Amino acid sequence: MAENGMFLWNSWYAAAWAHELIDGKMVARTILEQPIVFYRGESGKVVALDDRCCHRAAPLSMGRIEGDDIRCMYHGMKFDSSGKCIQIPGQEMIPPKLGVKGYPIVERYGLIFIWMGDATAADTNLVVDYPPLDDPKWRGLPGYMHYKANWLLIVDNLSDFAHLAFVHTNTLGGSEEYAYKTKPVAVERLDDGFRVERWHMDADPPPYHRKVIANKTDKIDRRNIGRMMVPGIFLLDSMFAPAGQGAEKGVQVPGTRQYRNAQFMTPETRSSTHFFWNYLHDFDIDNPNITLSLRHSLEEGFNEDKAIIEAQQKVFDADPDYQMLAIRADAALSHFRWALGQRLAAEKTARTASGAQAAAS
């Protein structure tokens, strides 16, 4: 399956949590419609290879890890961590073309990131930078969900906080008022996505937050700052400050609570998505009940999203020509789709050029 124009190939994608690979466990996971096997070799190195033996296409994930190598357990061919075939039982000469595709990997923040496109362009500096994910003053429990929906429908969802009011009224949102009374301060259009900031002044604490604080009734000033980046990474900084004390002017109000939230939407196929997330808090970090409560609240909220987003996908499956109509609140998601489209087009141009070059040489 050749690279296609549907996905951005030259990009780092969250592919697995590091804890999924403990104790020699292999993970067979499809990323951008490519079947890939992930494992941690005995040296500690994480390996990602095409999950199809080059010989008869048997999944390497049904094979056996040997050191940093992997052996296909159909006819015993062995591949090193780059994908090169290094042993064929019963055959001495190994043709150099025998091997499977290997993928560049970076391990950071407890996540395994994979580079799906041209390996020579795999610059580790391009991995997303979100310090709270490995800052010990922030605490969270990493989560994973599988969506039967195109990743951009999840991006859309996160791009308009108004959905908090209706989808998450009784969980993450707290009131329908949020949709009527609040607006983004601004939608900052970036080359690789957008930044949006939204305040809800003098509001009741939303249910998920109320569960983990002592004072459950005092009004709060709520601020969300979200950044969305290609190919589908969402970083959300949330602040709940006691109301009316100037948080919106930058006052550091005592009793303020903050959250940091990272979400990674990685396409499995054009109509399904791997969703990795971690929701971090910086208070009571040694109280596991707080951490667990937030984990469960977020999961509850994400399942509300999942129900509606998978229903959208079914609409598009049934009628691929269905045309959506934009409203003003779509400014952020429209910009994101435009920015992604620019990147996809650039990648396509580069692919065509290098194809022409290859054909000419």
- The DSSP secondary-structure symbol of 52 reads S
- Sign (positive or negative) of CA dihedral 332, 338, 341, 343: negative
| Count of beta carbons in the 10 Å neighbourhood of residue 234 | 20
CA torsion angle 90 95 96 97 (round to 10): -110
- Closest to a second copy by CB, 45 or 146: 146
Determine the Cα–Cα distance for residues 308 and 139; give it in Å rounded to an integer.
Answer: 29
Smallest gap from Cβ 48 to a second copy, in A, equals 17
Q: Identify any residues that bridge with 40 across adjacent strands, giving them in sequence order.
A: 46
Q: How many C-beta atoms lie closer than 10 Å to residue 275's C-beta?
A: 23
Q: Find the shortest distance in angstroms from Cβ 245 to a second copy.
A: 26
99 vs 117 by CB, closer to a second copy: 99
| Cβ closest to a second copy, residue 214 vs residue 327 | 327
Interface residues with a second copy (CB under 8 A)? 1, 33, 35, 52, 54-59, 62, 71-77, 88-91, 95, 97-98, 156, 160, 162-163, 165-167, 176, 179-180, 182-183, 307-308, 311-312, 315-316, 318-319, 321-322, 324-330
Nearer to a second copy among residue 202 and residue 218 (C-beta):
202
Q: How far from chain centre, in Å, is Cα 182? A: 27
- Beta carbon nearer to a second copy, 132 or 184: 184
326-331 — which CB contacts under 8 Å span 24+ positions? 329/160, 329/162, 330/159, 330/160, 331/184, 331/187
| Residue 51 beta carbon to a second copy: minimum distance, rounded to whole angstroms | 8
What's the closest the beta carbon of residue 170 comes to a second copy, in angstroms?
A: 12
Distances (CA, A) of 11 to 127, 128, 335: 8, 10, 19
Residue 189 pairs in a beta bridge with 194
> Minimal distance in Å, beta carbon 331 to a second copy?
11
In the complex with a second copy, which residue's Cβ is closer, 144 or 322? 322
Residue 317 CB, shortest distance to a second copy, in Å, is 11
